[in-house]
Chain A
Amino acid sequence: MEDNEQELSIRRILVALDASTHSLAALEAAADLAANLGAELIGLFVEDENLLHLAALPFSDEVRSPSAIRQPMSSDEMEQQLRLQARQARRALAKAAERSHARWSFRTVRGQVTASVLSAALDADLLALGRISRPISQQSRLGSTARAASTRTERPVLFMKHGSNLNYPVLVTYDGTPAAHQGLATAANMAQASGDDLNVVLLAKTLEDAVPLREEATKWLIRRGLTAEFHWLPETTVVMLADMVKAAENCVLVLGGDNPLLHAEAIQELLDSTDCPVMLVR
């Protein structure tokens, strides 16, 4: 790893906002990051076309929860409700940005949620979003947008869950690839900004393979005036990583590199078995 390799620079953070508590957790985390990295916050609310189409169907009824009353839907009412949600999202964004003294902007787009978010993410350096919006079943751990974001965008993505935050030691995977380096650099930035410990998980099949990785990372960190604790993960599996995360009790997981852990199924499995914030850096 050479010093002149381009480090990941996060200047614009896109937060996908909906009415869910998970997205508010993502907003809080993004605001913290924006404060630490001096980045700009961009709030995005998508007026879901599916809902508008549904409301415009002639027979469409919604079953209200928890009263179980059936109520006919109308386009006007649906638009009104979406506008209301957008206003709430904007207010939340303004409040979070004010707290972290970050520059911010907010926009509302109409379209398919996933496509709109991924499209907007192209203009940002980091996408922050809740793991899921408002699930029908508690068994659903990763929403469709989050799932798409985990696989279909090249941008770093931060997945947040309601109740978690970024004020914990940072755990970053490192396999020596350029993406892994970017992950390490991002994790180092986060740890440095928040003053938390940095833990590097070396992904290598053998100890012999792990040693050069460690030296490489150490060298880089020393030049940055940083230290880290190193761990070796001989098998790059979700189960082993999840065990390590659980052992750390609370942490922020940064997944970097090019390895099976960055596949959508693996991410979903990881999010199922852990509650910590997860950042993907490709």
Chain B
Amino acid sequence: MAPVQPLEVDALCLKCDPTQFSFKSTAELENLEEIIGQERAVEAIEFGIGIRRQGFNLFALGPNGTGKYTSVHQSLVKKAASEDVPSDWCYVYNFEHPHMPKAIQLPPGKGMELWQSMIALVEELFAVISGAFESDEYLNQKRTIETEFQEMQERSLEALKQEAATQDIALIRTPAGLAFAPLKDKEVIKPDEFMELPLEQREQIESQIENLQQRLQEIIRQVPQWMREGRARVKQLNKEVASFAVIPLFEELKEKFKESAEVLTYLDAVQEDVIEHNGMFLESGDEAGPGAAAAALLPSSQNKESFANRYQVNVIVDNSQSQGAPVIYEPNPTYTNLVGRSEHIAQMGALMTDFTLLKPGSLHQANGGYLIVDARKLLLQPYSWEGLKRALQGEVIRIESPGQAYGLVSTVALEPQAIPLEVKVVLLGDRMLYYLLHQNDPDFSELFKVAADFEDQMERNDDTNMAYARLIGTLARKEELRHFDPSGVARVIERSARMVGDSIKLSAHMQSVADLLREADYWAGVDGNDLVNGEHVLKAIEAQIRRTSRIEERMRESILRETVLIDTEGEKLGQINGLSVLMMGNYAFGKPSRITARVRMGSGEVVDIERQVELGGPLHSKGILILSSYLGSAFAADRPLSLSASLVFEQSYGGVDGDSASSAELYALLSALSRVPIRQSLAVTGSVNQHGQVQAIGGVNEKIEGFFEICRARDLTGDQGVLIPAANVKHLMLGQDVIDAVADDKFHIYAIDTIEQGIEVLTGVAAGEKDEEGHYPEGTINHKVVARLEEMAETQREFNRPPEDKNQEEAVDSEEEDQS
């Protein structure tokens, strides 16, 4: 097997050649209208928007910053512009059931017109009705009616009084009512004088009084009825006068809104109500109406004002200024912000509401168009998700408080008429949310049938490089940044590839790219350049790293000061430099860790110390079990594995997970078994499978750079380097410092396919291949391992033999010695 050679410089980073661009500045490039790298998502969005069926709402899923909102918004605005402007919606008073305001649909712009017309109407009603009721004709008629009924009562009483007087009986008022009294000399007869009268006369008087009293009772009983009749006649007169005054006003208004049957019905109801409550439009008038008890405590003017409120129009959707269908983004999707709410005002210590206090939600605003909502925010708000689903399922918007919706309160509240809903909702969220909802909410898949899955990376080729350049130009124009020259564009593209950790991919995380552009623009400004070049981009990247690398530097410092022990020179038995990646916020960096292995005689177990103390995660344990399996099958397939090995991440206090160190652990173990030391100038990453193949890991660039930085700080010896899985070569997008060191032959990257290749690089001793008889050549690592294992097995056997056998054997040995 030929020894593994270090990678060439070209393999370390797929550079973007600025000469491939024919422009001098991105200012020359046209704007990029389409979204790059999101073809699948854009297709899904267009499909979702185009299909007008219930349940075909969209869920745009993908990481934040991938342009979900921009893509969705752009697509929606484009589509909405060619669609009809939806109707206006108003809430008006329900004269039959005041707690159930009626919803009226009107052509766009007509809502405000109705609102203004009703305000003007009410103003005129006060003037017109007051005028009619102040006329002499009306006052005379009213007086006639009142006098007629008053006289009716008085005439009856006067007649009775006169009749009684003819019988010498007086009708007199008592403290509580009226009574008849027999007279003598024009005064009430004294009781004893009365008793002195002859019986017949007394009986006659009593009979007369009895008769009079009965008739008096009848008269008094009739009084309320006469009063009612009188009031009814006055009321009827008032209605006639009011009708005559107000009907022309209503006719004018009806002519204006003759196209809308709903408005005409409403105006009829208003007309009837105005005529019925004509007294409220008079200066001194007051009438018992709804809430009269509370109203009685308020000043009269306030009463009238609150009464006239019932003729207001609450325009909750006004599309008078709209063009095309609405596209609404709801930044704060609380329940009430979505479905609307009925507000309250404090009145006499109580909270009151009416239809004028109904406020629209974003569903009202988006009705007939599109609503964009952030799924996470939606789910964080109590009741919002259920409220939205209920509206979409029922295809109506019902303004009700959560308490009403869930039947938690039974106080009298408004129940406004529901408004038909036709809206396309687009939820924006990360993938995890989408899959969780899909799995746990049965309604979700019925309501959000279209998923627009946003990529976080895209292919890297000449076309996408050019699209990136146009994107940079577009963002520069939009955000008024300096334009980029080709070198600037090239560095942005390289950085983008590094962001996704893949030399043939580019990042679709537009937010990070845009941040880089803004920062590079800043540095170009500091330099006083009109164009942003590659140097500015590199400066921006360097500054980004510098701002976030405090912890990385502290860790590196602790290694350099040998608080954390990492060797970068010499050779050690059973000791190797592993590599791990740490993520601090959105910044990742690599860090070497010393891994050691010790072996002793045992029953075949490999002890993962990290696991024993619960500092190792399941993936790490899996890696250990795999390497144990490899060890057993490779070296002790036909005999017991008589070793006990222990593996540990030295000076690790915070837990370890992932299997990327499993190859390093295996190398350390092989070194310990074979008693061949490992070069400490090398660091290793890569996982291993049961056949000894080295497999790809993540964060390869950070890991290499992490070890490189330590070596560079201690001065590069030319012997140092990193072993990476060959499968990770395509992910290499290393920094310029590493590339330069490799070019100067001061640092080396080895692409490893198998454990055999790796151990050879690490020890300088060949691993060794089995010959035809299944033996490894002497002096090879594998041979030494097998020999050590055999030795251990033999020793084990020795220990396990019973004492008699041992004595016998010893006896035989001595005999043999003796014979010899």
Contacts and interface: CB of A to CB of B under 8 A. Distances in A.
Interface of A: 19, 49-51, 53-54, 56-68, 70-71, 73, 78, 81-82, 84-85, 112, 133-134, 136-139
Contacts of A58: 191, 194-195
Ranked 5 nearest A-B pairs via Cβ: A68-B220, A64-B177, A50-B188, A56-B191, A62-B179
Contacts of B216: 63
Given A51-B174, A56-B191, A71-B177, 18 more contacts: A49-B187, A49-B188, A50-B187, A50-B188, A51-B172, A53-B181, A54-B188, A57-B189, A61-B179, A62-B178, A63-B178, A63-B216, A63-B220, A73-B174, A78-B175, A136-B178, A137-B158, A139-B158
B221 interface: yes
B634 to A, nearest CB: 116
Nearest to B218: A68
Contacts of B177: 62-65, 71
Contacts of A56: 190-191
A49 B184 CA distance: 13
A57, A65, A138 — most chain B CB neighbours (10 Å): A57
B206 interface: yes
Contacts of A49: 187-188
B188 A53 contact: yes
Contact of B191 (A53, A62, A70, A84): A53
Interface string B219-263: 011011000000000000000000000000000000000000000
B176 A70 contact: no
A121 B492 CA distance: 117
A66 B223 CA distance: 8
Contacts of B213: 61, 63, 70
A57 B191 contact: yes
B607 interface: no
Contact of A53 (B154, B157, B190, B217): B190
Nearest to B179: A62
B759 interface: no
A63 B179 CA distance: 6
A31 B787 CA distance: 136
A59 B161 CA distance: 19
A19 B175 CA distance: 8
Nearest to B217: A68
A136 B173 contact: yes
Interface in B469-486: none
Interface of B: 150, 154, 157-158, 161, 171-179, 181-182, 187-191, 194-195, 206, 209-210, 213, 216-218, 220-221, 223-224
Nearest to B178: A63
Contacts of B194: 57-58
A178 to B, nearest CB: 35
Contacts of B178: 62-63, 65, 136
A138 B181 contact: no
Q: Which of B158, B178, B188, B224 has the most CB of A within 10 A?
A: B188
A71 B175 contact: no
15 contacts: A50-B181, A51-B172, A51-B174, A53-B188, A53-B189, A54-B174, A54-B188, A61-B179, A62-B174, A63-B220, A68-B218, A71-B177, A84-B175, A112-B187, A139-B154
B33 to A, nearest CB: 85
Given A66-B224, A68-B220, A138-B154, A54 B173 contact: no
Contacts of A136: 157-158, 161, 171, 173, 178
Contact of B179 (A54, A81, A84, A85): A54
B172 A71 contact: no
Contacts of B176: 62, 64-65, 71, 81
B150 A138 contact: yes
B209 A50 contact: no
A217 to B, nearest CB: 41
Nearest to A135: B173
B190 A60 contact: no
B172 A54 contact: yes
Contact of A57 (B171, B181, B220): B181
